[in-house]
């Protein structure tokens, strides 16, 4: 909502006699002069002029100006209109005006500033937060060095269809740059560096322009497919008083989010016809559940058809213990892909045949009909290749899957005859039995290596479950494949906040900050946040642990400390095996050992509870119990568990 | 393939099937040194990246065949990087690993079943 702004003006303190004393007190002090002098290798003898100057009061500046309403105050009004709960930032000079206005003018509430020690953490926190809360966080960063730090995390968010709202500081006008640092921190086109993996950006040249573009950016980010957006907040606009032209035009446009695009009615009817007639339909879910409502819709579709759901786990799509969870597409005659970014990969296997290529084979049987409902078909860029291989399908519906499901469910229900219903129920009974048998196999498999040290990932999973199963828990880390997917096999996932899905672009360094961001979102609901944390990932920007401690963000972190970049261990072994040599060198350049990293001490150094390393599986249960007690007090806690590789 | 070589292979395989004894200690050392445990787990329990092989569900001949021409994404290890004798030793080590307790005898796992 637009807020009437009492526009201030620059207050000049002229260097006239009446103001000279005050001005001298403000700007003429020795430290201020010293701060502006360049560093020198050696101190020369003072010149006669300097010696004379030091014996007298320095000359007051001609003008000293203050600004009772800098442009950044208006920017804060715009930002507040978008209802951000938090803004994540590592402080930077190019947005110092906005920083000050957020804290003092905005009262550091809605949004509240969260201190991050790395811009990658800022963005990944926003990434994790969105996947719980369903609305963006704002991130502030330098348009140059800050954005360079942030870029990998932005690409992760882009590939994961997550909107992150990024405001970049930049000093466009050369006359306002304070020395060489600010020249180095300035850029012609700040957003250019991330334009290949953001959905929209703008570089407003006035405050009214800032208002309009900021609201537009939010709307674009929140229209499926969701993606990050960038707004440049020019430092001169931030720090100078609101210009006369903007005073007349200052208003904040109304935000109305776009309804997500639903599929074409004819195409939906065709999809329903194929699904209802199928003997073995299978639903493949990527990011099908865009909101909490999506889980219920997917359950309704699966139960209507008595079709299994293969969850690719990019989101919490489908209850893990549902009897229709699972299934195989090998015998499917119709496969429905719902927001599956890698539909080709979901329907093919690949085997390496040599160093130049992979042998690909379809998993589906000949003649199987393939249907996709995918909002990614409505939007795409070419440079970064996260879009995956082209999928040859029979019916492609360019639309948001969740928005299309109600119509698809209704269309299916209308076509189901009593005969089809009977056949579907028989199919459902077989699928339920297969699901039960698969779970039984998983439980038996979890017993292998039960007492091993390093501790098996299955054992960690079950010990954790034993402690959290009666809590309102939320698992905020990617466990598939890093933890052999054990929680997804053994825990009872039902609610949207119980699993976040994967990184997006698999950029390592996402895990810890995304977990803290998710825990931040969970905090107000009193949920117990659980983070199974890969050691390699934490070492990118471990300082996010300090952010969690500083802002009292409760979260239980269990280290998956396998002391290696394990995926690369496997690749190195693969390459050595192909070259017929040196397979025993797998740990060179991939191991994170010698010395082993003490994560409990690391946690303590950042001001949080730390315990471990735990190597005996019998010690794990009591340690988890103690750490949960800490988390319930509102603090983060970490247990270092030395684990099997996967 | 020359007939004589085929005959040698058949004879060799037959010999393995009859006599799979090797050095378990050396097998464990090779299992760890060559990084087999990275995908299969230190006690061969299996992970998402490698099948359960401890205790081995295959006979020694099957294990050697599996290592030489594995299915899926597992790299193939030729005799140049792991000899048949080394694989026999690994097999002998894997045979020393006791089978897992039934899940019903592990209370935390049995609780999962009660769901």
Amino acid A2: pLDDT: 39
Amino acid A351: pLDDT: 76
- Secondary structure of A423-475 in HEC code, one letter for each residue: HHHHHHHHHHHHHHHHHHHHHHHHCCCCCCCCECHHHHHHHHHHHHCCCCEEE
Cβ(B41)–Cβ(B69) below 8 Å:
no
pLDDT tens across A245-299, in order? 878 878 999 999 999 999 999 999 999 999 999 999 999 999 999 999 999 999 9
Q: Which A-chain residues 321-350 have CB contacts (< 8 A) with chain B? A: 321, 349-350
Amino acid A249: pLDDT: 79
Same domain (yes/no): A472, A554: yes
DSSP code of A377?
G
Question: Among residues A249, A276, A299, which one ends one of the domains?
Answer: A249
Answer yes or no: is A238 within a domain: yes
Amino acid A54: pLDDT: 56
pLDDT confidence band for A20 (50 / 70 / 90): very low
Cβ(A231)–Cβ(A167) below 8 Å:
yes
Element (H, E) at A170: strand A165-170
Q: Calculate the average pLDDT of chain A.
A: 91
CATH number at residue B15: 1.10.760
Range of the domain at B73: 3-113
- Please give the residue that has the higher pLDDT: either A115 or A356: A115
Total of domains in chain B: 1
Amino acid B109: pLDDT: 97
Amino acid A199: pLDDT: 98
Best to test chain A binding among B31, B81, B82, B94 (most A CBs inside 10 Å): B81
Asked if the Cβ–Cβ distance from A352 to B48 is below 8 Å, we say: no
Which chain B residues touch A643 with a CB distance below 8 Å?
none
Same domain (yes/no): A157, A113: yes
Answer yes or no: is A50 within a domain: no
Same domain (yes/no): A470, A526: yes
pLDDT confidence band for A49 (50 / 70 / 90): low
Answer yes or no: is A22 within a domain: no
Please state, as a whole number, how many other Cβ atoms lie within 10 Å of the Cβ of residue A255. Answer: 15
Does A92 have pLDDT greater than 80? Answer: yes
Task: Report percent pLDDT > 70 for chain A.
Answer: 89
Q: Per mean pLDDT, which range of A67-76, A347-356, A449-458, B57-66 is the poorest?
A: A347-356
Question: Among residues A433, A468, A491, which one ends one of the domains?
Answer: A433
All residues at 6 or more sequence positions from A209 whose CB lies less than 8 Å from its CB, including other chains:
A202
Alpha-carbon span A499 to A3, nearest angstrom: 39
pTM: 0.89
Answer yes or no: is A117 within a domain: yes
CB contact B109 to A (< 8 Å) = yes
Asked if the Cβ–Cβ distance from A577 to B73 is below 8 Å, we say: no
All residues at 6 or more sequence positions from A628 whose CB lies less than 8 Å from its CB, including other chains:
A467, A468, A471, A528, A556, A637
List the single residue in A with minimal CA-CA distance to B71: A351
- B14 CA to chain A: closest CA distance, Å? 26
Which chain B residues touch A570 with a CB distance below 8 Å?
38-39, 49
pLDDT confidence band for A10 (50 / 70 / 90): very low
- B30 CA to chain A: closest CA distance, Å? 9
Element (H, E) at A169: strand A165-170
When pLDDT is averaged across residues A476-499 and rounded to a whole number, the result is 95
CATH number at residue A177: 3.40.50.970
Does A464 have pLDDT greater than 80? Answer: yes
CB contact A250 to B (< 8 Å) = no
Which of A538, A562, A586 lies closest to A482 in space, CA to CA? A562
Amino acid A65: pLDDT: 72
Interface confidence, given as ipTM, is 0.85
- What's the alpha-carbon Rg for chain A, to the nearest Å? 29
Amino acid A201: pLDDT: 98
When pLDDT is averaged across residues A179-187 and rounded to a whole number, the result is 95
pLDDT confidence band for A481 (50 / 70 / 90): confident
Amino acid A19: pLDDT: 34
Same domain (yes/no): A135, A169: yes
When pLDDT is averaged across residues A108-116 and rounded to a whole number, the result is 98
Same domain (yes/no): A303, A350: yes
- Please give the residue that has the higher pLDDT: either A308 or B113: A308
Same domain (yes/no): A548, A627: yes
Range of the domain at A605: 447-642
- Please give the residue that has the higher pLDDT: either A601 or A60: A601
pLDDT confidence band for A5 (50 / 70 / 90): very low
DSSP code of A193?
G
Total of domains in chain A: 3
pLDDT confidence band for A24 (50 / 70 / 90): very low
Answer yes or no: is A169 within a domain: yes
Does A122 have pLDDT greater than 80? Answer: yes
Please state, as a whole number, how many other Cβ atoms lie within 10 Å of the Cβ of residue A366. Answer: 5
Does A1 have pLDDT greater than 60? Answer: no
Task: Report percent pLDDT > 90 for chain A.
Answer: 84
Same domain (yes/no): A410, A485: no
CATH number at residue A384: 3.40.50.1220
Does A58 have pLDDT greater than 70? Answer: no
Alpha-carbon span A632 to A361, nearest angstrom: 50
Amino acid B1: pLDDT: 40
pLDDT confidence band for A355 (50 / 70 / 90): low
Indicate the length of chain A as a whole number.
646
Asked if the Cβ–Cβ distance from A463 to B108 is below 8 Å, we say: yes
Alpha-carbon span B86 to A584, nearest angstrom: 13
């Amino acid at each position: 909502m637009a807020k009437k702004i009492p526009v201030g003006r620059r207050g000049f303190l002229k260097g006239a006699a009446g103001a000279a004393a005050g001005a001298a007190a403000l700007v003429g002090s020795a430290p201020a002069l010293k701060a502006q002098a360049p560093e020198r290798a050696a101190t020369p003898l003072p010149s006669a002029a300097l010696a004379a100057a030091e014996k007298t009061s320095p000359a007051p500046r001609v003008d000293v100006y203050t600004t009772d309403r800098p442009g950044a105050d208006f920017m804060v009004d715009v930002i507040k209109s978008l209802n951000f709960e938090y803004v994540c930032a590592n402080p930077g000079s190019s947005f110092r005006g906005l920083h000050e206005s957020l804290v003092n003018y905005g009262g550091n509430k809605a949004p509240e500033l969260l201190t991050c020690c790395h811009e990658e953490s800022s963005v990944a926190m926003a990434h994790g937060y969105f996947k719980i809360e369903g609305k963006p966080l704002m991130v502030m960063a330098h348009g140059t060095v800050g954005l360079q730090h942030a870029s990998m995390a932005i690409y992760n968010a882009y590939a994961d269809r997550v909107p992150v709202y990024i405001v970049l500081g930049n000093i466009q006008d050369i006359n306002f740059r304070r020395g060489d640092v600010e020249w180095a921190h300035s850029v012609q086109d700040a957003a250019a560096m991330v334009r290949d993996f953001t959905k929209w950006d703008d570089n407003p040249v006035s405050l009214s322009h800032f208002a309009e573009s900021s609201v537009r950016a939010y709307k674009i980010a929140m229209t499926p497919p969701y993606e990050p957006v960038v707004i440049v907040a020019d430092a001169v606009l931030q720090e100078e008083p609101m210009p006369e032209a903007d005073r007349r035009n200052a208003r904040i446009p109304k935000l109305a989010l776009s309804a997500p695009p639903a599929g074409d009615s004819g195409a939906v009817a065709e999809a329903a016809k194929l699904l209802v007639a199928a003997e073995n339909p299978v639903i493949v879910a990527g990011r099908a559940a865009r909101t909490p409502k999506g889980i219920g819709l997917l359950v309704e579709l699966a139960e209507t058809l008595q079709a299994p759901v293969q969850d690719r786990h990019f989101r919490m799509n489908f209850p893990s213990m549902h009897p229709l969870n699972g299934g195989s597409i090998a015998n499917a005659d119709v496969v429905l892909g719902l927001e599956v970014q890698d539909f080709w990969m979901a329907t093919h296997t690949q085997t390496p045949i040599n160093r130049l290529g992979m042998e690909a084979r379809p998993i589906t049987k000949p003649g199987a009909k393939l249907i996709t409902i995918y909002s990614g078909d409505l939007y795409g860029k070419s440079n970064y290749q996260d879009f995956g291989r082209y999928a040859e399908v029979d019916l492609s519906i360019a639309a948001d899957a969740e928005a299309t499901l109600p119509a698809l469910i209704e269309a299916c229900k209308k076509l189901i005859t009593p005969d089809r219903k009977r056949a579907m129920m028989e199919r459902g009974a077989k699928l339920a039995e297969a699901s039960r048998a698969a779970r039984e196999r998983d439980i038996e498999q979890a017993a292998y290596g039960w007492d091993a040290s390093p501790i098996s990932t299955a054992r960690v999973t079950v010990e954790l479950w034993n402690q959290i199963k009666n809590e309102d828990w939320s698992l905020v880390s990617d466990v598939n494949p890093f933890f052999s997917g054990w929680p997804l096999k053994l825990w009872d996932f039902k609610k949207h906040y119980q699993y976040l899905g994967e990184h997006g672009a698999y950029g390592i360094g996402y895990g810890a900050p995304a977990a803290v961001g998710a825990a931040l979102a969970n905090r107000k609901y009193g949920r117990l946040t659980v983070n199974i944390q890969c050691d390699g990932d934490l070492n990118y920007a471990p300082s996010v642990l300090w952010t969690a401690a500083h802002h009292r963000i409760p979260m239980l972190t269990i280290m998956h400390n396998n002391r290696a970049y394990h995926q690369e261990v496997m690749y190195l072994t693969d390459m050595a095996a192909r070259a017929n040599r040196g397979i025993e060198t797998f740990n060179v350049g991939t191991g994170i050992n010698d010395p082993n990293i003490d994560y409990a001490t690391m946690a303590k150094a950042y001001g949080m509870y730390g315990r471990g390393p735990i190597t005996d599986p019998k010690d794990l249960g009591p340690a988890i119990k103690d750490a949960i007690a800490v988390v319930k007090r509102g603090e983060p806690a970490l247990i270092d568990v030395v684990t099997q590789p996967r | 393939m020359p007939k004589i070589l085929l005959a040698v292979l058949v004879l060799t395989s037959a010999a393995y099937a009859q006599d799979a004894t090797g050095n378990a200690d050396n097998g464990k050392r090779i299992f760890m040194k060559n990084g087999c445990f990275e995908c299969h787990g230190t006690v061969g329990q299996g992970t998402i990246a490698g099948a359960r092989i401890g205790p081995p569900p295959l006979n020694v001949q099957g294990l050697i065949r599996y290592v030489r021409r594995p299915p899926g994404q597992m790299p193939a290890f030729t005799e140049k990087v792991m000899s048949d004798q080394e694989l026999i030793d690994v097999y002998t080590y894997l045979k020393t690993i006791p089978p897992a307790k039934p899940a019903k005898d592990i209370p935390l796992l049995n609780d999962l079943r009660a769901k």
